[in-house]
Structure formats: structure tokens, C-alpha cells
Chain A
Amino acid sequence: MTIDPSIGPDKARELFRAELADVRTDAELQALRTRWVGRKGSWVSAFMEALATATPEQKKAFGRGANELKKEVEAAIAEREAALAATRRPADAVDITLPGRPPRLGHRHPLSLIRDEVGAIFTRLGYQVLEGPEIEDDYHNFEALNMPEEHPARDMQDTFYLQTPLMPAAHAATAEAIALRTPALRPPQPLTLLRTHTSAMQIRHMEMNAPPVRLVAIGPVYRKDALDLTHTPMFHQVEGLVVGKGVTLADLKGTLAAMAEALFGPGTGVRFRPSFFPYTEPSAEVDIQCIKCKGAGCAMCKRTGWIEILGSGMVHPAVFEAVGYDPNEVTGFAFGMGVERVALLKWGVEDIRLFYENDLRFLEQFGL
């Protein structure tokens, strides 16, 4: 396109500004420069040529304007040139949209995350966190917990028993140490079963330590349940035990409310429902407010607004007597919660078996 030099500088400026606004690339900018301020054939050169033959009045009227316009055009082009350069990627630039080279990093198992989280909550509340043996004797798993020989839970249908009872050296040594502390207690018993709850650990702790007690025991436990959506023959349990002077059911409520809020979010309410366990009296099943509907009632909570999460209660005097504590001197609370259950609720996992398949497609959904 040629430029009509008969257009005065003011009109030309307007035209230039419009053209400059449309410039997007370096090439377009170069073309624009040639057209307006190039040595030959540009608007400026044509205008200057035309001015050479003009009357002195015209020279005087337009000369300065043309020079100013030339400077202005050059400055504007230089400015745009710099702006374009600033957006241009250097020759050795990488394609940042290509995938990164991932350093090796594994994912935590969800049950392990819950174990740690619960452990951390109770550590913060001043508890010691304990782990214990998974193969137990009858006495620590049942009898000391006020579940005498004829108790239904001791049935072969609910408990896994060993083919051959065991008496490993370490176990015999512990039993001896317990006998030294409380001679009235049982002589060493052979190990016969897989613990059905971590409560067995609590008995062991109380046998070896005088009150006060403030602990959580975490670990795998075993019950003879067939594999289905909600059952596995091995699962994990967190059990808490607090024993001391003046420990009350209200203390249990406050503690569990604090745990529920820490695990499931602020404002998660808890509800106590009276229940029955041989090793606690009074006993309570504890519900949390449904984490999905916040108590309004939905399919997940069967329209009740509450979801059962654990069993708890005040330690039965018979349990204290079994470990050599005086039930007239101390009281205590205990609770037991399934780690899997918390994980199912917290992350909306619909099949408990996923926790034991160890499919990386599942595991990699969880963090570190």
C-alpha cells in the first residue's frame, strides 16, 4: 500500500497509530517501519519529497510537523520492538509443557496415614502410644478382660487359634516379670491365639505399671470374619486407656469429641449410646455426626444423621482387679476404634478389601 503524502501529519499520525495497534509480529513491525519511515517509498520520504516542491508557507506549515511525526513513529516502533522482544522465548528455551522427570517418591498406605494421625492426636493430648504382641495367651486376651471361659467371643467361630501353643523365651520372660510385680497373678501361659483386640496390650501394660495410665495401643487384630465389602479377617485397631483418680465418663466424652474433631473436622459432634461390653461398665457406643450430611440424614447414615465409630466405656472393676489395681482407688475409661472404619468414612472408600490388595492405582491416590 502506498501512502498518500497529501494527507497532513495530523491525519497521518492517526493512521499510523491504527496500523501500529494491529501489529503482532516482528515481520509486521518491519513492514510498518518500511512503509512509514523507510528511505524510499515511505510516507515520510514521499512527504519530504512533496514538501521540496512546496511553497515556503507550506514548508513552514508542514515541515516541522513531518519531522516530529517521523521521530514519533520511530520511537513508537522502537517501543513496540522492545515489547515484542520481551515476549519472545530465547532460542535455547525448553518446552515447559513437556512432562517433568519425577524423582522417585512412594505413597503412604491409607491405614498407615490414619494410624499416624490418631497417634499424633493422642500424643498431643499427652498419651503414650504403644504396640504389642499379636499372638496372645487366653488370659490377656479374654479372661483378664472379664470374658470368662464360657464367653461367646471365645468361640472358634470368632477367634483364630494356633495349632500348637507357643512359649517363646521373650514371652516367658515377660510373664515372669509380671509374676514378680504381682505374685497373685497368673503363672506364664502359652500363647494360643491371635489377639482379637489391642485390649490385651492394655492388660500387659497395667500388669507392669502402676497407675496413672494414659495410653493408646495401635496395631493389627484378628477376627474370624470372611472377606466382604465391610469385613476382613485382619484389621487395625486403636484403643485408648486412661486410668487415674477421678477419671469420669464425661472425660471420655470430651476426649472422644476432641478426637472426632481432629479426625473429621471441626464441629463434628459425638453421641453416646448405652451399650454392653464385658470389660467396661457403663459402656457406650459412640457415633459421630454423619460427615456427609452433617447430621441432616442421608443414605450413608441410614437417615439417622449419626454414624457409629467406636465402642467405649468405664473400665470394669473386674479388669482392675485382674491387674492388681484397686477399683476403689482409681477409675478409668477405655475405647476401641477400627482404623479401617475411619479410613472408609474419611475417604469414601466403598470396599474394605482395597486396603489389603495393595493395588498401586489405589495406593497412589493417597499422599505421604
Chain B
Amino acid sequence: MKVLLSWIREFVDVPESPEDIGKLLSVRGLALEGLEPHGDDVVMDFDVTANRPDCLSMIGIAREIATAYNRPLRSEGDGFSHRHTAATAKAVALRTSTDGLPITIEAPDLCPRYAGAVADVTVGPSPQWLQDRLTACGIRSISNVVDITNYVLLELGQPMHAFDLAKLGGGAIVVRRAKPGESIKTLDGKLRSLSPGMLVIADAARAQAIGGVMGGADSEVTAATTRIVFEAAYFNPSSVRATSKALGLKTDASTRFERGMDLTAPARAMARACALLEQIGAGKATGTIVDVFPQPPTPRPVGLERASISGLLGMEVPDAGVERILRSLGFDVKSASAKATAGHAGWSITAPAWRVDIKRPVDLIEEVGRHHGFEHLPSTFPGVQQAPAASDPRIVRDRRVRTALLGMGFSEAITFAFIEATAAEPFLAGLDPIALANPLSEKFAVMRPSLLPGLIDAVSHNRRHGRRDVQLLEIGTRFSPRGETRGAAFAWTGLATADHWSGARREVDFFDLKGVIEQLAAVSLVAVTFADADQAYLVKGRSAKIAVGGTTVGVFGLLDGAVAARRDLPPGDAVYIAEINLDALTAAASLETLRAAPLPRYPWVVRDISILVDDTLSAGAVRGTIRSAAPGFLIDVREFDRYQGKGIPDGKVSLSFRLTFQSFERTLTDEEVQAGMQHIIDALTRDLQAMQR
């Protein structure tokens, strides 16, 4: 809200500098957004919060300043010296007339109050001072009559309108809902079709204005206008909001009405407008002001307990301060302490009609608190009544996985949870994507079904910006029609080893990634098994599913070249990716039931064995045969060499295993170990046709 300092000073004596006023008001609830000189004057731009439509006016801002500085407010400003003398007729009927113009409210639910006044006018330019004030506050000067409506809007906050009386057919004003198929050409020159339920101000035949939103072009005041009707009314906030939204039409009037206006203001505003008309020589009201207000509401007082003020704020405000602040803001304050018990002593407060935001005691406490000054709040801490409950267990779990991956060289990425539909497509696993109805753009159209698309794009970004080796991880939410799950994903491309002057370089491969997963499993205390993956976005034969106790918890492997190319990765890049469902992993983990085993007290025995087998046989199968044939004291089997080539027949592979035997009960004898070895060799020969080398 732009206000002019000189205009404010008509309502309150505030000689302080605009900077000083801005500083104080900023800590009283009106943040100063801008300060601009305007000739000898200053325009102050205050940020008015949505709950305070009353501050969208000079008098509203002046009232806040008066309270902040503890100065009296002149509710009629210095400019009011020229009074309009016509008496205000307090009509209570739904239908009444001014100077022969009947006004009828047919929709009192949408318009509980409508004031009108007929005036003879000579349309022309406004005096310079008036034009200046409007311009300073961001409103274009149009003509003396229209300028008066805008002047009153700025000064008192009450939106007004002026109709050319000659253009009102049938010489009547009817406030009613729009008829089916009705339309109106608004002041901005657009033809608008109205839906039934929208409130219009009509003459005897048709709509001449959209109530509280915009006037109609047909009854617009022009240079030729000689007789007008001023309108000052109260329109229902929800109705104006709905109409403004449906028509896509936001005006100074609609923004005020939809927040809630002052039910008492129309009469004041009308008197002010008529007075201004005479003051600037633009014309004269010819009849009485007619104020159709059939059911003035009874203001409802709100009780304010003294103890609740310090109870909520944590600072004491003296009674005199409470009363001063509320009275200064226009509240009616009655002490309710006399007969009440000490604990409930306080006040009965009635809010002024312009304070549409005051409904509960806390609303009053806020008024007291902010004008007493939040700067007086002490710094205290809330007491603890019971031990705080545990945090979300996912936080600790995620931290463990993140720390492990960081320690294995992956840097942490955070990507947007919405992605392009085509990027999500390969990762949907047969489920529907969660699409947004109103995405920011095609790039953010669906919620990610997997962390991988975002991570692949992040790898692609780094590759395209000249980074050869990229290791990234992300921990976050994945979305599917079945709900949300938390996942950890990581991607690796480039060198597997440190790029160092001393050593050989090697590109990352399948086993680098598998090693990472095995380490993650180790620190998560789960045993994982692997099987061929069938995800289309992974290269067959270079990818695997990860399972814990029969449940698949993730996949990893080489990213399919076509998917990589679609995400602008340089051709030929080998990007290894992995994704783990952390929720599924946690469900299988045994961290809570961990019992530490004692260290073995007897020595171990190591035996190596090298065999020739068919090269189609997996290492896993060989290891399985060894384990099933081995005695109970075999504690470890490790592949330490795999060789094909010179000296090995075609179709065969040489595998070397290191077997470790150890008993927790006694020292093993050579004979025992030898018998065990023989048993293993027999099984390998018998079951896998292995030849010992």
C-alpha cells in the first residue's frame, strides 16, 4: 500500500522522519517495502498482510502510526474541513430512493448494505493537488468525478463507483444476481458473460456493474455526463472472490472486498465523496444520501482475560498499556474485572467494524503484543514435561548408508523429485507414473519412480562440463501409486582407481559396484544374494538384482546405452548405476538383534585348491558345492584367481580358492583338515566334473 506522508499527517501529528516511521512500523506489523520522494512529499510503500484490509487506506495506516507513537488520531482528516451538509438518511428498508432514484437490494446475502447519492456534476479534470495525490499512490487521474471515487478509496479504504444516471435505464438501481445468459461490457472494454450467482448492479433492464469488481462501460461517466449516482456498498467477500477468480478480473475494489470491508464505511465514504464534489467544484448532491442497510449486525464483544496475555506472550503488559493500545486502534474496551474472580479478570472488547480479522481472544493478544513491542519479549525456553520421543528411525539409517557411500567416494546429490515423463518411463516397472496436473514445465511433469533418472542427469551434467570421473549418490523419496518409499541410488563412471602418477589406471566395472553393495550390506548387517537382473535400462549380463532373504531390495549394473544417449551422456561412456530400496533393506536388517561373537581361541588352517571346470559354470555354483561338501569348521571360501588362456583347454577355466578352516572348540589336526579337503575335492570331481590342477 502506497501512502503519501502529507496525507497521513492530516490524520495524525507525526513529525518524525519517514525513515523513522518506517523503522518503527516494520516492527509493529507493517513492513516498509519502499520509500520514494515525491516532490516535497514522500511516498511510503507498506506491505499490508492479507488479514488487514483496513490498512489498505490512509486512515488505516495513520491509525497504526498513531498507536505506535501513542498520538491521537483525527478520524476526520484536515481535508475534511469542507463538510457536506446533507443529512444522512438511515433507511432500513430493502427498497428506498434518493432524489427519485429507487434502490432495491434483491440479494441482501451478497450485498447487505448499499448507499447511493445523486448529484449534478460538471465533468472535467481534477485540481492539480488531487491528481498529484492519486498519481503518487499509483492511480491514474481520469476525471474529477472518477478521481473522487478513487480518492475516497485511498483515503478511507471504501471502494466507490459513479454511474452516469442518464444511462441507467428505467431510472432505478437493482442489486441482484446475474440472470442466465446475461453479459456486460466492463470498463476495460471487454464483454464478459456472467454466470448466475455473480452479483450485479443493474438498472431496470440490465447489468450496469459487476458488484465489487468493476463497473460497466455503458454507464461510464464521460465528459458529457451531467448527472451521476455515487455508489458505496458492502459486498460479500466470498462472492467477490469467486466472481473475480471466475472472470480473471482483479481490481483495487475486488482485492479489498474479497478480504472483507468495513460495514460501517459506506455512509462515511458517501458523505466524504459528496463533500469533495462540492469542495473541488465538480458538482453537488441533489438529494439525501440513501443508505439501504436492512439488518445492521450487532457487534459481538470478545472476552480478554488478563492472565491470558502474559500466558501466551511470556511478557507482562500493564493494564493501562493494554487499554491504551486497544482503544487507540478503535476497540471498545470495557473492564470486566470488577466482579470477576482474580484469575479471570480482564476486559470485554468490541472490535471496530473495520477489524474483520478479530474473532478470538488471541487476535486481541496479538494486537496488544505487537504494539507493546515484540522487542520487549524476554528470551526463555519451553519447559520439558516428559522425555522427548525418538526421532524418525529413517534419519539414522539414511545417515549410515550416506556415510558409507561418502566413504567409498560418492558425493551427495539432491535432485528435483519431479522429472520429465520420458526420463521416468524406463523406470516405471509397469506402474503408472504419478503425473502432476499443473507442472511447472514438461521437465517437471511426473514424480520420480526411481532416483536413477535424476542421478543419471546429474552425471550427464558433470560429464558435459568436462568432468571425466563422476561418483554421485542420492538418498530420497520415490513415488508410485503404491505410495512413497525411500531409496539410495549411486552412479559411477570414469576411473575406478585414483588418478595418480604412480599407478595404472582402470575404468570402473561391474565388480567395483558389486563391492560397494557388499560393503553396504556388511555395515547394514544383512546378507545379500545376487541374481541376473532383467531391467531394460541395464545391460544384460552386466547387471544384477540384489536380494535379502528372498526379497529383492535393489538392482545395479551397467546403464543401457540407449537410455544413456537419451540423457545426453557422451557416447561410449560406461555408467554403472545402483538403486536400493532402503525401506525393504531396513525391514530385513538385524541391527537391533545384533549379538557380538567372542574371538576364536584356536588357530586357523589355510588350504588352497585349484581346479579346472567348464567356463559356463559360475563361481557361485563352485562355491556352493565346496560349502555343502565341507565340514562344519570351514569358515571362509575365497576366490583368489580365475584364469583362462595358455595351458588351459578351450571351454575350461582355472579357478583357485583359498579355504580357511577353524574350530571354536579345539585345535584342528592335519588329518581332520586333510579329510575335509578330500571330501571337497571328491564332491567337485563328482558333481562338477572338476579336475584338480
Question: How near does chain A come to B306, taking the closest CB pair, in angstroms?
Answer: 15
B435 at the interface (CB under 8 A from A): yes
Chain A, 153-177, contact with B by CB distance < 8 Å: what is the 0/1 string? 0001000111110101111000000
A263 at the interface (CB under 8 A from B): no
Q: Do the beta carbons of B314 and A250 come within 8 Å of each other?
A: yes
Question: How near does chain A come to B468, taking the closest CB pair, in angstroms?
Answer: 11
Q: Do the beta carbons of A273 and B412 come within 8 Å of each other?
A: no
A28 at the interface (CB under 8 A from B): no
CA A213 to CA B435, docked complex, whole Å: 35
A6 at the interface (CB under 8 A from B): no
Given A135-B479, A160-B438, answer yes or no on A249-B412 (Cβ-Cβ < 8 Å): no
Q: Do the beta carbons of B412 and A274 come within 8 Å of each other?
A: no
**B409-453: which have CB < 8 Å to A?**
409-418, 432, 434-440, 444, 447
B503 at the interface (CB under 8 A from A): yes
Given A134-B477, A160-B439, A276-B50, answer yes or no on A168-B483 (Cβ-Cβ < 8 Å): yes
Q: Do the beta carbons of B414 and A104 come within 8 Å of each other?
A: no
Chain A hits for B382, CB < 8 A = 214, 242, 244, 247-248, 251, 255, 333
**Which residue of chain B lies nearest to A368 when distances are taken between CB atoms in the complex?**
B406
Q: Do the beta carbons of B385 and A244 come within 8 Å of each other?
A: yes
Given A106-B412, A170-B483, A214-B382, answer yes or no on A130-B315 (Cβ-Cβ < 8 Å): no
Q: Do the beta carbons of B369 and A249 come within 8 Å of each other?
A: yes
Chain B, 648-667, contact with A by CB distance < 8 Å: what is the 0/1 string? 00000000000000000000
**Which residue of chain B lies nearest to A149 when distances are taken between CB atoms in the complex?**
B238
**Which residue of chain A lies nearest to B472 when distances are taken between CB atoms in the complex?**
A358
Q: Do the beta carbons of B462 and A253 come within 8 Å of each other?
A: no
Chain A hits for B29, CB < 8 A = 273-275
Given A101-B500, A360-B470, answer yes or no on A109-B413 (Cβ-Cβ < 8 Å): yes
Given A106-B406, A331-B312, A355-B414, answer yes or no on A131-B386 (Cβ-Cβ < 8 Å): no
CA A130 to CA B412, docked complex, whole Å: 21
**A206-263: which have CB < 8 Å to B?**
209, 212, 214, 220, 222, 224, 226-227, 232-234, 242, 244-251, 253-255, 257-258
A272 at the interface (CB under 8 A from B): yes
Chain B hits for A246, CB < 8 A = 311, 383
CA A119 to CA B396, docked complex, whole Å: 11
Chain B, 383-423, contact with A by CB distance < 8 Å: what is the 0/1 string? 11110111110110001001001111111111111100000
**Which residue of chain B lies nearest to A103 when distances are taken between CB atoms in the complex?**
B498
Question: How near does chain B come to A251, taking the closest CB pair, in angstroms?
Answer: 4
Given A170-B483, A274-B366, answer yes or no on A106-B311 (Cβ-Cβ < 8 Å): no
Chain B hits for A273, CB < 8 A = 26-27, 29, 31, 374
Pick the contact of A364: B395, B405, B411, B413 (CB < 8 A): B411
CA A224 to CA B440, docked complex, whole Å: 7
Question: How near does chain A come to B408, taking the closest CB pair, in angstroms?
Answer: 6
How big is chain B's contact interface, by range?
A: 35 or more
How big is chain A's contact interface, by range?
A: 35 or more
Chain B hits for A98, CB < 8 A = 501
CA A7 to CA B462, docked complex, whole Å: 78
**B221-274: which have CB < 8 Å to A?**
238, 241-242
**Which residue of chain A lies nearest to B479 when distances are taken between CB atoms in the complex?**
A135
Pick the contact of B482: A123, A168, A355 (CB < 8 A): A168
Chain A, 264-292, contact with B by CB distance < 8 Å: what is the 0/1 string? 00000001111110000111110000000
**Which residue of chain B lies nearest to A131 when distances are taken between CB atoms in the complex?**
B392
CA A233 to CA B418, docked complex, whole Å: 9
Chain A hits for B462, CB < 8 A = 358-360
CA A150 to CA B242, docked complex, whole Å: 8
Q: Do the beta carbons of B498 and A106 come within 8 Å of each other?
A: no
Q: Do the beta carbons of B483 and A128 come within 8 Å of each other?
A: no
Chain A, 68-101, contact with B by CB distance < 8 Å: what is the 0/1 string? 0000000000000000000000000000001101
CA A273 to CA B386, docked complex, whole Å: 32
CA A127 to CA B408, docked complex, whole Å: 32
Given A101-B503, A130-B391, A248-B311, answer yes or no on A161-B438 (Cβ-Cβ < 8 Å): yes
Pick the contact of A272: B238, B377, B395, B471 (CB < 8 A): B377
Q: Do the beta carbons of A363 and B412 come within 8 Å of each other?
A: yes
B298 at the interface (CB under 8 A from A): no
Question: How near does chain A come to B46, taking the closest CB pair, in angstroms?
Answer: 13
Q: Do the beta carbons of B435 and A274 come within 8 Å of each other?
A: no
Chain A hits for B52, CB < 8 A = 276
B70 at the interface (CB under 8 A from A): no
Q: Do the beta carbons of B395 and A282 come within 8 Å of each other?
A: no
Question: How near does chain A come to B249, taking the closest CB pair, in angstroms?
Answer: 15
A8 at the interface (CB under 8 A from B): no
A9 at the interface (CB under 8 A from B): no
Q: Do the beta carbons of A249 and B388 come within 8 Å of each other?
A: no
CA A74 to CA B447, docked complex, whole Å: 86
Chain A hits for B500, CB < 8 A = 99, 101-102
Q: Do the beta carbons of A106 and B434 come within 8 Å of each other?
A: no
Given A244-B383, A360-B411, answer yes or no on A249-B314 (Cβ-Cβ < 8 Å): yes
Question: How near does chain A come to B615, taking the closest CB pair, in angstroms?
Answer: 32
Question: How near does chain A come to B438, taking the closest CB pair, in angstroms?
Answer: 5
A111 at the interface (CB under 8 A from B): yes
Q: Do the beta carbons of A129 and B418 come within 8 Å of each other?
A: no
A67 at the interface (CB under 8 A from B): no
Q: Do the beta carbons of A272 and B380 come within 8 Å of each other?
A: no
Given A168-B482, A331-B311, answer yes or no on A161-B436 (Cβ-Cβ < 8 Å): yes
Pick the contact of A105: B381, B384, B409, B476 (CB < 8 A): B409
Q: Do the beta carbons of A314 and B362 come within 8 Å of each other?
A: yes
Chain A hits for B501, CB < 8 A = 98-99
Chain B hits for A220, CB < 8 A = 417, 476-477
**Which residue of chain A lies nearest to B466 when distances are taken between CB atoms in the complex?**
A361
B379 at the interface (CB under 8 A from A): yes
CA A355 to CA B415, docked complex, whole Å: 8
B546 at the interface (CB under 8 A from A): no
Chain B hits for A135, CB < 8 A = 434, 447, 479, 484
B525 at the interface (CB under 8 A from A): no
Q: Do the beta carbons of B416 and A359 come within 8 Å of each other?
A: no
**A188-218: which have CB < 8 Å to B?**
194, 209, 212, 214
Q: Do the beta carbons of B417 and A134 come within 8 Å of each other?
A: yes
**Which residue of chain A lies nearest to B459 when distances are taken between CB atoms in the complex?**
A358
Q: Do the beta carbons of A104 and B471 come within 8 Å of each other?
A: yes
Pick the contact of B438: A134, A156, A285 (CB < 8 A): A156
Question: How near does chain B come to A104, taking the closest CB pair, in angstroms?
Answer: 3
Q: Do the beta carbons of A275 and B498 come within 8 Å of each other?
A: no
Given A161-B436, A233-B418, A250-B379, answer yes or no on A274-B370 (Cβ-Cβ < 8 Å): yes
CA A244 to CA B26, docked complex, whole Å: 30
Q: Do the beta carbons of A282 and B384 come within 8 Å of each other?
A: no
List 30 A-B residue pairs with CB atoms under 8 Å apart, sorted by A's residue number: A101-B502, A102-B498, A104-B409, A106-B406, A108-B412, A126-B384, A128-B389, A131-B392, A135-B447, A156-B437, A160-B436, A160-B437, A162-B435, A162-B436, A212-B385, A214-B382, A222-B417, A234-B417, A244-B385, A247-B382, A249-B377, A250-B314, A251-B381, A254-B379, A271-B27, A271-B375, A317-B362, A356-B414, A357-B458, A358-B458
A sample of 15 more A-B contacts (CB under 8 A), given A104-B407, A282-B369, A359-B462, is A98-B501, A104-B408, A106-B405, A128-B391, A129-B392, A131-B395, A166-B483, A169-B483, A220-B476, A251-B382, A254-B379, A273-B29, A274-B29, A274-B370, A281-B360
Q: Which residues of A contact B (CB under 8 A)?
A: 98-99, 101-109, 111-112, 116, 119, 123, 125-131, 133-135, 150, 152, 156, 160-164, 166, 168-171, 194, 209, 212, 214, 220, 222, 224, 226-227, 232-234, 242, 244-251, 253-255, 257-258, 271-276, 281-285, 314, 316-317, 331, 333, 355-361, 363-364, 368
Task: Rank and list the top 4 A-B pairs by shortest CB-CB distance, nearest first.
Answer: A250-B314, A104-B409, A248-B314, A276-B49
